[in-house]
Chains A and B, each alone.
Chain A
């Protein structure tokens, strides 16, 4: 796979019925390209947690993936409320999720920690009132 493959998806706010479709789509692409199961698993978990976060917290946004032979880079960009305290948000168990999100099995304060656990590099750029962009890199 010499060339770089790029995909982009729109993630809709508060649409819990379609949340996860972008992650499923990326997983399918990686399987077709023949990436190792462990890599696909880490990408799937990181992307899915990020996608759910965008649905729950951030009024939706854009998810994109850049697939190279030796790495997958996921960018999740939203224009939501931003994260006031990134250190606190990275702490397992800390959550500001709604009751609706909790009723669906999320909001346990595991999203960002799960993303970090699955990634080789995680960059969080956030500004309160402006939005958040996560850049997740997983080496293949």
Chain B
């Protein structure tokens, strides 16, 4: 699924500088526990989380995650945006809850990337 579609489905706002519309993700993971992301996420893709601190970007970098979607209307901290730009990651925000955001993407065909 292209990130342009993710943005549209979640009515999301993009914070980072890189061109994102045609970046494609093939799987997604929803979690507020970064250790679970490290343990269970298998494929390059999309991370949905309620956290908005720099460790989310660090975790994404370790797992080759391409895009972070912050749910429940959480604005990313400025240092998060700065770090994501340095690492070439896309950061978005949606007002959806984690459950709803995952459901919207799943309904349109995006699947989990873990076990």
Which residues in A have some Cβ–Cβ distance to B below 8 Å?
16-17, 19-20, 23-24, 27, 41, 44-45, 48-49, 52, 103-111, 113-114, 117
Contacts and interface: CB of A to CB of B under 8 A. Distances in A.
B111 to A, nearest CB: 20
Classify chain B's interface size: 20 to 34
A124 B63 CA distance: 25
Given A23-B62, A44-B62, A45-B62, A105 B56 contact: yes
Contacts of A17: 54, 79
A19 B9 CA distance: 33
Contacts of B39: 110, 113-114, 117
A117 B39 CA distance: 9
Given A23-B58, A45-B63, A106-B35, 12 more contacts: A16-B53, A17-B54, A19-B55, A20-B62, A45-B38, A45-B62, A104-B34, A105-B32, A105-B59, A107-B35, A110-B39, A114-B38
A107 B55 CA distance: 13
B65 to A, nearest CB: 12
B58 A49 contact: no
Q: Name the 3 nearest CB pairs between A and B, nearest first.
A: A20-B58, A110-B35, A105-B34
Contact of A105 (B35, B61, B63, B79): B35
